[in-house]
Amino acid sequence: MEILELGHPVLREKARSIADVRQPHIQQLIDSMLVTVRDADGVGLAAPQIGESLRLLVIASRPNSRYPDAPMLEPTPMANPRVLRHSEERAFGWEGCLSVPGRRGWIPRYREVEVEYLDRSGNLQCRVLRDFVARIFQHEFDHLEGLVFLDRVQNPNDAIPESEYWKKVKPLGA
Ligand code: NI
């Protein structure tokens, strides 16, 4: 699937709730998202990024070329996700976005979030997510609200070209 880039109006819409996760259209959408995020070396994807303004995201953390230090997790689709609780504590970390190619941002996120969502069978699930996985969730959840990480940058210098980012995290010779 083609990934829409910032400037496309769907990325700025508030996505609609899914009435029935088991509908064939939603099941196909989940499958497409899982393939798309893997092929693009992402760690997460939200349905609006492939043009479907629906409350559906996938967390698909695994080490890859864009996120070499990402933890390995079973890819997890989440429909109609909600945040039940979050830590007071926030942490900064670098984020990129498949819809904002060539940029990285230094973004504050809650260290821990307790979330509920419908799995692809339509069952309600509750999970506590921490650190990088909590960050992925908050980033993807933002897409459902029409936000991207650039909206969360606290200082204009905290959004940098990807080439500068790689110099910071992997200096030559390191
Ligand atoms: Ni994104």
C-alpha of residue 42 to centroid of ligand 1, in Å: 9
Sheet strands (E) in the chain: 44-46, 56-59, 76-86, 90-95, 103-110, 112-118, 124-130, 159-161
**Which residue ranges make up each domain of the chain?**
9-168
C-alpha of residue 48 to centroid of ligand 1, in Å: 10
Q: Which residues are catalytic?
A: 140
Nearest alpha-carbon partner for 114 in 81, 73, 83: 83
C-alpha of residue 83 to centroid of ligand 1, in Å: 18
Provide the CATH topology of domain 9-168: Peptide Deformylase (3.90.45)
Reading the chain (174 residues) residue by residue, the pLDDT tens digits are 899 999 999 999 999 999 999 999 999 999 999 999 999 999 999 999 999 999 999 999 999 888 888 899 999 999 999 999 999 999 999 999 999 999 999 999 999 999 999 999 999 999 999 999 999 999 999 999 999 999 999 998 999 999 999 888 875 554
Q: Cα–Cα distance between 129 and 127 in angstroms, integer?
A: 6
